A and B are shown apart, each in its own frame.
Chain A
Amino acid sequence: MRLDQRLIADMIEPGTRVLDVGSGDGTLIDHLFRLRGCDARGIEIDMKEVTRSVAHGLPVVHGDADHDLAHYPDDAFDYVVLQRTLQAVERPREVLRQMLRIGRHAIVSFPNFGHWQLRLKLLLGGRMPMTAVWHTQWYETPNIHPCTIRDFIALCAEEGYCVQQWMAVDEDGERAPWRRSIRLANLFGEQALFLLRRKGDC
């Protein structure tokens, strides 16, 4: 399991209902079921991964964040997880709204476009930056909605979500030591991880 998935798993209370949006090969839901006694389910867009997950006995449906969350009832889950996908969905704000409608908590991770390397490359090179995290050419990238940690925090404030926990993580998922300062995290964190609650619940 990736280190950032371990960090996500640590945010989730045992025995809860979890929906992993973009569950990939099902590692996280398998872990949550086996070790945390969660009722963990997945949605995945890649049919090969769906088949692989179901063939491993995991409850995964073919679907995607933009089109399929709307079909779940309110409060169906305790946690809805979106790993490294927010930047690739069609309507990030709507996806977040849906996540916090069907789940009491949302756990969101995304690559931080505010990282210093990206800023520097754009400043010095004048071309769309390419790094280990952002490694696809602008004309091919599925990441159509990149944002920085500060952008995301601003959106949460606008939507009235409360940030229960947040952390910056490096590409390997190792927790980065920028917890005190959002500005530093926004400069040095390659990935960001947020635990949100909907307004009124916090």
Chain B
Amino acid sequence: MNSTAPLDVGEHPHASFPEGLDLECGVHLAPLDVAYRTYGQLSPRRDNAIVVCHAFTGDQYVAETHPQTGKPGWWARMVGPGRPIDTNRFFVICINVLGGCMGSTGPRSLKPARADGKAERWGTDFPPVTIRDMVRAQYKLVRSLGIERLFAVVGGSMGGMQVLEWAVTYPEMMLAAMPIATAPFHSAQNIAFNEVGRQAIFADPDWFGGRYWEHNVVPARGLAVARMMAHITYLSEEALTSKFGRRVRREPKEAQAPESSLAMFGDVFEVESYLRYQGSAFVRRFDANSYLTITRAMDWFDLSAEHDGHLPAAFAGTPVRFCVVSFSSDWLFPTSSSRYLVRALNQAAANVSFVEIETDKGHDSFLLDEPDFDRTVRGFLCGVADHAGLA
């Protein structure tokens, strides 16, 4: 991996809120930058806005070529003109999460200038943020765009956690919520996987106590290992088998990872090669401190925490229409956690739809070609528009 140079921060379009934000941990974070992208036109009545919440390592470039990686938007197949989330009809807003590294305030941002005028990065001093903090930052941005009520909030995985947090925190501000491949709390297994990723980063000699930028490096190896491990959890056994099986490939000498003990044989399983590629591509676009901050935010996520563990209370009297979607082969956020959520919503007498999409592609299915899923998204949004009397 030849990606030990520090990330190119670059400038991402954003809104600045000098007044900042009070975080749940008690810290007042100011100023606050919120990077975002929009697609489509806001209607004159300002009633067609959809917030799409990105997943853990996603970002605001949902439906356009990514300025850093040059790859298509992460959900370009779902969001766009004529797509299930149709930008000819809806005004789509996608916002980089608080604590992220694509332009919103996060560990890589500069701290407020000190008395001596010297500015330095937050790094590991960045305050712990929660999913609710992320959503409250998004709320500020949405209001600043002159939008009083959202048509819908949609997102998968950690994006789905934000959707649920939106629905619990601002129920009067949205008509519909679509939490996809997610859960109302992070399970012990989810936390365990996150912890392995964090420990991999800490173990990298280039970590330097979190102040790696001062040494002009990034903990690329640890971050790549974290990504490789996490990537396995996004797939299913069937998907790995059908994609790679036990196929072996001979890697060209220069592409061999020197640290690998297997490299001496010159052969790697295709699945290894794939994961290495995923790891090395990831470290070029993602900041290690953001990785820590965001995984921690997910770990703390538990919607029922404020209600003595009684989840239905979080949704009591909610006017929001929900559509919960899970995928049959997703073992990171399994259907059982979606069903648990649906039963809590039923108990709160919420208006809820629930679909489990049959697929062997695992957690990442929500990003992939699943025609039933596309139909579900399109149909649910049309149904909500119908009910709301939107043309």
- Interface contact A56-B383, CB-CB below 8 Å: yes
In residues 52-74 of chain A, which contact B (Cβ within 8 Å)? Answer: 53-63, 68, 71-73
On chain B, the residues within 8 Å of A68 by CB distance are 343, 346
CB of A100 within 8 A of chain B?
A: no
The residue from B349, B354, B380, B382 contacting A62, defined by CB atoms under 8 A apart: B354
- Interface contact B353-A61, CB-CB below 8 Å: yes
- Interface contact B353-A54, CB-CB below 8 Å: yes
- Interface contact A57-B349, CB-CB below 8 Å: no
- Interface contact A72-B383, CB-CB below 8 Å: no
The residue from A39, A51, A61, A76 contacting B342, defined by CB atoms under 8 A apart: A61
CB of B375 within 8 A of chain A?
A: yes
Complex alpha-carbon distance, A76 and B347, angstroms: 9
Expressed in whole angstroms, the minimum distance between the Cβ of B223 and any Cβ of chain A is 38
- Interface contact B383-A51, CB-CB below 8 Å: no
CB of B251 within 8 A of chain A?
A: no
Q: Which residues of B contact A (CB under 8 A)?
A: 321, 323, 342-343, 346-349, 351-358, 372, 375-376, 378-380, 382-384, 386-387
- Interface contact A59-B383, CB-CB below 8 Å: yes
Complex alpha-carbon distance, A39 and B151, angstroms: 19
**Top 8 A-B pairs, shortest CB-CB distance:** A57-B383, A55-B379, A55-B375, A61-B354, A71-B343, A76-B349, A71-B346, A54-B353
The residue from B346, B347, B378 contacting A61, defined by CB atoms under 8 A apart: B346
On chain A, the residues within 8 Å of B342 by CB distance are 61, 63
CB of A50 within 8 A of chain B?
A: yes
Contacts A47-B356, A61-B353, A62-B356 given; indicate if A54 touches B343 (C-beta within 8 A).
Answer: no
Query: Which residue on chain A has the smallest CB distance to residue B325?
Result: A54
**Can you list 25 A-B pairs with a CB-CB distance of less than 8 A?**
A39-B351, A51-B355, A51-B357, A51-B375, A51-B376, A54-B379, A55-B372, A55-B375, A55-B379, A55-B380, A56-B379, A57-B379, A57-B382, A57-B383, A57-B384, A59-B383, A60-B353, A61-B346, A63-B342, A68-B343, A71-B347, A72-B347, A72-B349, A73-B348, A76-B349
- Interface contact B347-A59, CB-CB below 8 Å: no
- Give the most central of B346, B375, B387: most A CB within 10 Å: B346
Expressed in whole angstroms, the minimum distance between the Cβ of B312 and any Cβ of chain A is 8
On chain B, the residues within 8 Å of A61 by CB distance are 342, 346, 352-354
Complex alpha-carbon distance, A59 and B381, angstroms: 11
On chain A, the residues within 8 Å of B349 by CB distance are 72-73, 76
- Interface contact B354-A50, CB-CB below 8 Å: yes
Chain A binding surface, main DSSP class? mixed
Q: Which residues of A contact B (CB under 8 A)?
A: 33, 39, 41, 47, 50-51, 53-63, 68, 71-73, 76
On chain B, the residues within 8 Å of A39 by CB distance are 351
Complex alpha-carbon distance, A6 and B375, angstroms: 28
- Interface contact A54-B352, CB-CB below 8 Å: no
How many contacts A-B (CB < 8 Å)? Answer: 68
The residue from A33, A55, A59 contacting B352, defined by CB atoms under 8 A apart: A59
Expressed in whole angstroms, the minimum distance between the Cβ of B249 and any Cβ of chain A is 38
On chain B, the residues within 8 Å of A60 by CB distance are 353-354
Query: Which residue on chain B has the smallest CB distance to residue A56?
Result: B379
On chain A, the residues within 8 Å of B343 by CB distance are 68, 71
Complex alpha-carbon distance, A51 and B354, angstroms: 8
Contacts A47-B356, A50-B354, A62-B355 given; indicate if A55 touches B347 (C-beta within 8 A).
Answer: no
- Interface contact A50-B379, CB-CB below 8 Å: no
On chain B, the residues within 8 Å of A47 by CB distance are 355-356, 358
- Give the most central of B342, B343, B347, B355: most A CB within 10 Å: B355
On chain A, the residues within 8 Å of B376 by CB distance are 51, 54-55
Contacts A51-B375, A51-B376 given; indicate if A58 touches B347 (C-beta within 8 A).
Answer: no
Complex alpha-carbon distance, A50 and B346, angstroms: 16
Complex alpha-carbon distance, A51 and B375, angstroms: 8
On chain A, the residues within 8 Å of B355 by CB distance are 47, 50-51, 54, 62
- Interface contact B354-A58, CB-CB below 8 Å: no
- Interface contact A54-B347, CB-CB below 8 Å: no
Complex alpha-carbon distance, A39 and B351, angstroms: 9
On chain B, the residues within 8 Å of A41 by CB distance are 351-352
On chain B, the residues within 8 Å of A72 by CB distance are 346-347, 349
Complex alpha-carbon distance, A56 and B383, angstroms: 7
Expressed in whole angstroms, the minimum distance between the Cβ of A104 and any Cβ of chain B is 14
Contacts A58-B383, A59-B383, A68-B346 given; indicate if A51 touches B352 (C-beta within 8 A).
Answer: no
Query: Which residue on chain B has the smallest CB distance to residue A47?
Result: B356
On chain B, the residues within 8 Å of A71 by CB distance are 343, 346-347
Contacts A54-B376, A54-B379, A72-B347 given; indicate if A59 touches B353 (C-beta within 8 A).
Answer: yes
Complex alpha-carbon distance, A76 and B262, angstroms: 62
On chain A, the residues within 8 Å of B387 by CB distance are 33, 57
Query: Which residue on chain A has the smallest CB distance to residue B384?
Result: A57
Query: Which residue on chain B has the smallest CB distance to residue A62?
Result: B354
Complex alpha-carbon distance, A72 and B372, angstroms: 27
On chain A, the residues within 8 Å of B372 by CB distance are 51, 55
Query: Which residue on chain A has the smallest CB distance to residue B380?
Result: A54
Query: Which residue on chain A has the smallest CB distance to residue B375?
Result: A55
On chain A, the residues within 8 Å of B375 by CB distance are 51, 55
Expressed in whole angstroms, the minimum distance between the Cβ of B372 and any Cβ of chain A is 5
